[in-house]
Structure 1
Amino acid sequence: MPEHVGNRPPSYPPHPLRCPSVRDGDSFAAFSPAVLLDGAEVGRLTVRATSVRGDSHNWEGTCRQDSMTVTRIGPPDAEMLLLAVADGVGSASNSHVGSYQFSRLAALDLDEEAEGIYSALCLQDEGELRGIANKAVGRTVEKARGPWERDARRKGRPYTDHDYATTLHVLLVPTDPRVRERVVFSVGDGGLFVLRDGRWEYETPIGEGGVLDTRTEALPHAYRSVKSTLLRTVPGEVLLLGTDGITNPLTQKDPEFARHLAEAWGGPEVPSLSDFLWQAQTRAKSYDDDRTVICVWEEGA
């Protein structure tokens, strides 16, 4: 079974129990796997990614509400690695659909803006980046809402944005190693950590006017409040993009969880897919939500 940190293991069993049924009337939930695992090597960049159903959802027999995307966008001279994580709001009936759709549709809309994003990255123009992100995510929301509204009318029920509420974080990394800037577009909790000198540093999203915004936001309704985080990294630093299922225990008062993952992912070798999945499932008492994490390693020159 997966390892745990702390003196006592979590109360929930460490493996899937019940699962959704097709008779529940939600085929999307019934066919959503408990675990997603992905990876890639793009030039000097190596990616490991997983989305795992949380212990509480395994116990209840409900589906994984997190989603993730690993892909590339842009033309060859402005190509970027796009990594996205989304966390469906637990109280929203179709948040698993929202997280799945937004993590993919956002990639398509950001691809249309790839050359502008790349140029703004090179100029370190965070205001322009934030404007592009708001425009692209706004298009994404409109594309997603249409089918959801039609489905609600067909079933004779009112449509509300909250039914599909989800957070979204998108990390863009240029594949050209000469470009050192990266950007994260964020709506809601979760976000980006950077492993530097054996310690995880949280890269805080900044809102309009450079003010930290701590409100809980979610798509579809919060598409005008995309936060932007511009950062510069060097080879040897590890980027970690995650939902709050992993970012919350990383920031807990007991640092054992953070130390454990720093040792696992800060070594000289990038873990295999199976090792990464095992390490990402490290358990900590009181943290039983879905967990989605994408890490990026960069080989030195």
Structure 2
Amino acid sequence: MSGQVNHEESRGTSHEPAGFDRAADADDLDTHFAGLPYGVMAHDAITQVHGGAAPTLEQAPPAPEQVVVPAEPGTEFLRGVPAHVGKRPPSYPPHPLGRPSVRDADEFAAFSPAVLLDGARVGRLTVRAASVRGDSHNWEGNCRQDAMTVTRIGPPEAEMLLLAVADGVGSALYSHVGSDAFSRLAAVYLDREAESIYAALCAQNEADLRTLATKAVAGAAGELRSGWASSAGHKSRPYADQDYATTLHVLLIPTDARVRERVLCSVGDGGLFVLRQGRWEHGDPNDGGGLLDTRTEALPHAYHSVKAALLRTVPGEVLLLGTDGITNPLTQKDPEFALRLADAWSGPVVPSMSDFLWQAQTRAMSYDDDRTVICVWEVDA
């Protein structure tokens, strides 16, 4: 995420490197991701070896002992570089270049992977999630400032799937630390309020949901600010809230298929889209043109309360939770990017994790920010 806290940001701008020779700088991508476990982290662009058909919504996940028949000898299935929309690809190379060093005095940045890939199958819900370092950060050798979390919260009778994405503010010194910490600790505090949240969700009480979400996020913010201030004191440097500035979006989905309501809790830009009948729609039914205003609200300090929006979905609709690295190109005037992802994710087959990652990396000119996207498919009874 680029821009300052509480200042309007420019959209669709890019600083392309001068004198870049795309042909000379291109790599052969040979990292193969067939059969990866959930939670895989990769440091380079991805290609896939397809050992079999991707699972459909009706199929259960394959048993661990299932044998996959290999391709014929000498046969290669290479995805190659990510696809692009528009007349030509962006000038940035489509793969990570430099990266931070341990000697830069920021170990978190030095050890942050360029790509984070995750997924899950919970009841009738199937999740695919990817967080990818943006083209500009690849070129500059900076770490990924986005973060994401996929987990479950609440007791069995009030269980919810929790999906979170966070986008560190580009101008903040430790926004990558803030985004990672908030995406995780917010889940812990929301879990403490899970039964009350579940009751408010079933009652469709947005006011109570907003109060509970604000309480949970404020609790996480208080704990993190205290820890960061203490750490800064040990290192003899001043602590500043704005150094850790990040947005946060959390989607809660009951795992009980009889409960059709979902709730989105938001601070900052980015947000939720719903893929209905091949078209992307904003996930907040009470918002006309977008989930948020043009200011960049951010945690831990530059926000008033957590926005909470209820929505109701039906099986067959796809939910997309993302940072503005993907929500911005989804809403651009040229619809090619949105159409391409709608075509990839609206069919009867849920993409494999490696296919989803490749699709999520679809490139568009002038959209070079980090990109984090979590999609949820639901099979009908």
Q: What interval of TM-score do these two structures reach, taking the shorter chain for normalisation?
A: over 0.9
How far off its partner does 1:206 sit?
Answer: 6.4
Deviation track 1:96-118 (CA, whole Å, cap 9, x = no partner) reads 00000000000000000000010
1:28 corresponds in structure 2 to 108
2:190 corresponds in structure 1 to 110
How far off its partner does 1:223 sit?
Answer: 5.2
Q: Where do 5+ consecutive residues of structure 1 fail to align?
A: none
Please state if 1:52 is matched with 2:52: no
The answer to whether the 8 A contact 2:163-2:252 is kept is yes
2:30 corresponds in structure 1 to none
Deviation track 1:30-63 (CA, whole Å, cap 9, x = no partner) reads 0000000000000000000000000100100000
SS of 2:239's partner is coil
- CA–CA separation in structure 2 for the residues paired with 1:206 and 1:153: 44
SS of 1:221's partner is coil
2:379 corresponds in structure 1 to 299
Please state if 1:156 is matched with 2:236: yes
Please state if 1:229 is matched with 2:316: no
- CA–CA separation in structure 2 for the residues paired with 1:106 and 1:290: 21
1:186 corresponds in structure 2 to 266
* Distance change (3 Å), C-alpha of 1:49 and 1:64: same
How far off its partner does 1:8 sit?
Answer: 1.3
Deviation track 1:78-124 (CA, whole Å, cap 9, x = no partner) reads 00000000000000000000000000000000000000010001000
Q: How many residues align?
A: 298
Please state if 1:169 is matched with 2:283: no
**Aligned residue among 192, 195, 210 for 2:275:** 195
More helix by share: 1
* Distance change (3 Å), C-alpha of 1:15 and 1:88: same
Deviation track 1:205-233 (CA, whole Å, cap 9, x = no partner) reads 869xxx96443200000454211110000
Deviation track 1:150-179 (CA, whole Å, cap 9, x = no partner) reads 122222222111000000000000000000
**Aligned residue among 269, 290, 297 for 2:370:** 290
- CA–CA separation in structure 1 for the residues paired with 2:331 and 2:148: 22
Percent sequence identity over aligned pairs: 77
Please state if 1:7 is matched with 2:84: no
2:52 corresponds in structure 1 to none
The answer to whether the 8 A contact 1:172-1:184 is kept is yes
1:86 corresponds in structure 2 to 166
Letter in 1 for 2:260: R
Letter in 2 for 1:57: H
* Distance change (3 Å), C-alpha of 1:175 and 1:109: same
- CA–CA separation in structure 1 for the residues paired with 2:123 and 2:237: 49
The answer to whether the 8 A contact 1:20-1:30 is kept is yes
2:227 corresponds in structure 1 to 147
**Aligned residue among 201, 218, 223 for 1:121:** 201
The answer to whether the 8 A contact 1:85-1:243 is kept is yes
- CA–CA separation in structure 1 for the residues paired with 2:282 and 2:334: 16
How far off its partner does 1:246 sit?
Answer: 0.2
**Aligned residue among 328, 338, 342 for 1:262:** 342
- CA–CA separation in structure 1 for the residues paired with 2:225 and 2:340: 41
Runs of 4+ in structure 1 off by over 3 angstroms are: 204-207, 211-214
Q: Where do 5+ consecutive residues of structure 2 fail to align?
A: 1-80
The answer to whether the 8 A contact 1:205-1:212 is kept is no
The answer to whether the 8 A contact 2:273-2:320 is kept is yes
> Which piece of structure 1 moves more, 154-163 or 274-283?
154-163
CA RMSD of aligned residues (A): 1.4
Letter in 2 for 1:186: S
SS of 2:329's partner is helix
